[in-house]
Structure 1
Amino acid sequence: MTVSLEQLRRCHVAVDLGAARTRVYVKGLGLVVDEPSVAAVNTRTGSLIAVGALAEQMTGRTPDYIRVARPVTGGTVIDIEMAQRMLRHLLGEKLRRQLRRKPRLRAAACTPHDSDPLAQRAAVETLVGLGARRVELVDTLIAAAVGCGLPVEQPTASMIMVCGAATTQIAVLSLGSIVTAVRIPIGGDAIDHAVIQHLRQHHALMLPSQSVRPLQLALSGSGLTSHGPATTEIHGRDVATGLARSVQVDTDAVRQAIHAPLTAVLDGLGAILRDCPPDLVADLVDCGIMMVGGSALLPGLDQMLRDATGMPVHIAERPDVCAVLGLGAMLDGKIEPMVLDPLAC
């Protein structure tokens, strides 16, 4: 998956197919698509009913003949045909007609770190089905680091944590390459699931899957810190009776439930620091950790990492779109590699 900046400059469109959202960057136009990676299909006729935000609103509210599909899981395309149909409708006829005018349309796509060849092939076939003649694959960690402004091309350490919906990726970068990295199957969905299970086990309350945002519902702004209200009122459905019910939830207990899946992230962070050369670890003491991805906005997560590592932790200005903006910067030629003059013998 090694691709040069010269090859990326020849690309016309960059795509970030995430488990939660799909983003498309077109050279000269900027970010043109930022929608949920969801599609609603009529199983009787096979027709596509809705994509993006409208399809996400249908989750859990559809009759039997309408299926809400998520063609991307953990950054990997699991349904190529559905992903192509979803992208085709998200782009719109006008933009697709504009891209078809390119004599040899080239595309760039983000892929998770250490993805297997089948996952890479699925990403390539998805974009080839949309008319791309050539597809360049870029590691999500490098694209996100470029998008948030880290000096990845310099001989200094830069640590980045990509907090996605299904996975968390952590890496140390230097001289434009990954020194050491790890991918952990824990993301924002796992945190949501932990809150759902806590409320079901301790309060016999069921919540709709798409309204269990921990930072909005269960924590009401207190996040993973001890500051904030001691209790929070939660509305849901009683497990036994099926009737609507409201309960007062102890935010400390919810905070502990969220900490459980995050321990795997802390273990991965420790493994990265142990595998990293000492000179680069010394650089990280000053520059710290940069957090990107939609789940990086979970209140109190940055403070939790500070307490666990003792290093400064920063959240990118636009953490959710860093990866596709980094790809866009490479397409536009805004990134220049560090040039080393060969030494004379």
Structure 2
Amino acid sequence: MTVSLEQLRRCHVAVDMGAARTRVFVKGAGLVVDEPSAAAVNTRTGGLIAVGRFAEEMTGRTPDYIRVVRPVSGGTIVDIEMAQRMLRQLIGEKLRRTLRRKPRLRAAVCTPHDADPLSRRAAVETMVGLGARRVELVDTLIAAAVGCGMPVEQPEATMILVCGSASTQVAVLSLGAIVTAERIPVGGQAIDNAIVQHLRQRHALMLPLQSVRPLHIALHGNGINQDGPESTEIHGRDVVTGLARSVHVDTAAVREALHTPLTTVLDGIGQVLRDCPPELVADLVDRGMTMVGGSALLPGLDTMLRDATGMPVHIAERPDTAAVLGLGAMLEGKIQPLVLDPLSG
């Protein structure tokens, strides 16, 4: 961990800005914001119309002069000004006044593994624009592992899989640091896009990403395995006529469409295990890996990973908020560093 626990204890607020959702944890108040990372803007006046859930519901349903923007892409803030405006509205005036009373406001922010300098600078500038005097950057992998209750500070291997909207991060941790890790450019959005493309090519049906959820539910049963329901009805727009149409989709064919993105995730997990020292891999045989992130809840994904790797696979109790809760636990001093007795001569 590049940031010491002592530095994190001095922070007042923790922020996890992902491509799908933004979460804010305030010391002493807990998780105060958990909303979609979206903002609706009036392009004529530049005014902000809605943020969070209300802006998310406007996607694809607005007139020409209203645009729904996402200031975070792939775990990186791509529009600093819009990210600041969105955060101000999500936090609210009352909480902003409370934070402004802090003489030297400190903030901690989750950043993706191996984030480039521009991404890290964007995260810092976003929080500085909101009044932070100092910003600490923490790797999402470590924050999520702490949020799951994993013993990251101990000299034993722990493996975590962060299934985000835009990417998947997998790492083996030991002694509070990342031993080996991979960031895979495949996440929940890639899985949804694979379903949308399958419906377009096989059934000539255009389906918005917001409507993919019924297929996720249809894959429930034993999920991506072969024991789920045989078909489900999906409503969309005909590619040729442009009229509304319903089709019965074979879920077995959908599982086949998901094969490519999920295979990429498996390749990344295999690369991490190959780069990991044998002693730590031996620890993982019994302990297995823990899945966090919103996409970890895709039905049957844990079963598929268990069958492919031969290791136990667990889903965290609160996988979607594990990273920000782990960062919050470090802010509140609930994580104690490993203390070694000095060697006596």
Q: TM-score, with normalisation over the residues of structure 2? A: 0.98
Deviation at 1:248, TM superposition (A): 1.1
> In structure 1, what is the Cα distance between the partners aligned to 2:322 and 2:229?
33
How much does 1:220 deviate? 5.6
The aligned counterpart of 2:123 is: 123
Letter matched to residue 6 of structure 1: E
Matched, 1:51 2:17: no
Q: Give the whole-Å Cα distance in 1 for the aligned partners of 2:344 and 2:6.
A: 26
Supply the distance in 2 between the matched residues of 1:4 and 1:148 (Cα, whole angstroms). Answer: 19
- Residues 232-251 of structure 1 mapped to structure 2, 5 A cutoff: 232-251=232-251
> How far off is 1:217 after superposition?
5.6
Q: What does 1:55-66 correspond to in 2, within 5 Å?
A: 55-66=55-66
| 3-state SS in 2 of match to 1:166 | coil
CA contact (8 A) 2:221 2:227 kept: no
Render the CA deviation track for 1:207-233: whole Å, top value 9, x for unaligned: 122121265465365520111221111
| 1:320 corresponds to 2:307 | no
Paired amino acid for 1:187: G
Corresponding residue of 1:113:
113
CA distance in 1, matches of 2:57, 2:104: 37
Alpha-carbon distance between aligned partners in 2 of 1:329 and 1:220, rounded to the nearest angstrom: 33
- TM-fit CA distance, 1:124: 0.3
Is contact 2:159-2:172 (8 Å) kept? yes
C-alpha distance in structure 1 between counterparts of 2:140 and 2:107, whole Å: 15
Distance 1:222 1:200 in 2: 26
Kept in 1, the 8 Å contact 2:216–2:299? The answer is no
1:40 aligns with 2:35: no
Contact 2:172 2:276 in 1 (8 A): yes
Indicate the SS of the match to 2:282: helix
Partners of 1:154 and 1:340 in 2: CA distance: 11
Displacement, 1:106?
0.2
Q: Please, what is the CA RMSD of the aligned residues?
A: 1.1
Structure 1 equivalent of residue 142 of structure 2: 142
Match of 1:28 in 2: 28
- Give the CA deviation at 1:258: 1.1
Output the CA distance in 2 between the equivalents of 1:282 and 1:17.
Answer: 34
Distance 1:218 1:301 in 2: 14
Correspondences of 1:290-305 after superposition (within 5 Å): 290-305=290-305
Looking at structure 1, the residues matched to 249 and 217 of structure 2 have their Cα atoms a distance apart, in angstroms, of: 10
CA drift of 1:38 comes to 0.1
Quick one: which amino acid aligns to residue 130 of structure 2?
L
Residue 199 (structure 1) aligns with: 199
Segment drifting more, 248-257 vs 223-232: 223-232
Q: Amino acid of the residue matched to residue 277 of structure 2?
A: P
Deviation of residue 259 (structure 1)? 1.7
What secondary structure is seen at the aligned counterpart in 2 of 1:109? strand
Specify every segment of 5 or more residues in structure 2 that has no aligned partner in the other structure, as ranges.
Answer: none
Do the aligned partners of 2:217 and 2:299 also contact (CA within 8 Å) in 1? no
User: Which residue number corresponds to residue 272 of structure 2?
Assistant: 272
CA distance in 2, matches of 1:313, 1:127: 36
Matched residues in 2 for 1:82 and 1:231: separation?
A: 42
1:104-157: CA deviation from partner (whole Å, max 9, x where unpaired)? 000000000000010000000000000000000000000000000000001000
| Contact 1:215-1:298 within 8 A present in 2 as well | no
Kept in 1: contact 2:220–2:300 (CA 8 A):
no
SS of match in other structure, 1:114? coil
Structure 1 residues 168-201: Cα deviation after superposition (integer angstroms, max 9, x where no partner):
0000000000000000000000000000000000
1:88 has 2:88 as partner: yes
CA distance in 2, matches of 1:83, 1:59: 18
Identity %: 80
Greater shift in the superposed pair: 224-233 or 330-339: 224-233
SS in 2 for 1:149: coil
Inter-partner Cα distance in structure 2 for 1:243 and 1:312: 47
Could you report, residue by residue, the CA deviation over 1:53-105 in whole angstroms, capped at 9, with x for unpaired residues?
00000000111111100000111100000000000000000000000000100
- State whether residues 215 and 221 of structure 1, in contact with CA within 8 Å, keep that contact through their aligned partners in structure 2: no
Q: Hey, what does 2:285 align to over in structure 1?
A: 285
Stretches of structure 1 that go unaligned for 5 or more consecutive residues are: none
SS in 1 for 2:224: coil
* 8 Å contact from structure 1 (residues 205, 237) kept in 2: yes
Counterpart contact for 2:218–2:228, Cα < 8 Å: no
Asked if structure 2 preserves the Cα contact closer than 8 Å seen for 1:184 and 1:268, the reply is yes
- Cα separation, 2, equivalents of 1:221 and 1:128: 47
Partner-residue secondary structure (3-state), 2:11: coil
Greater shift, 209-218 or 255-264, is seen at 209-218
CA contact (8 A) 1:217 1:234 kept: no
Taking the aligned partners of 2:216 and 2:187, their CA distance within structure 1 comes to 17
Q: Which moved more, 1:26-35 or 1:219-228?
A: 219-228
8 Å CA contact 1:192, 1:214 repeated in 2: no
* Greater shift in the superposed pair: 215-224 or 298-307: 215-224
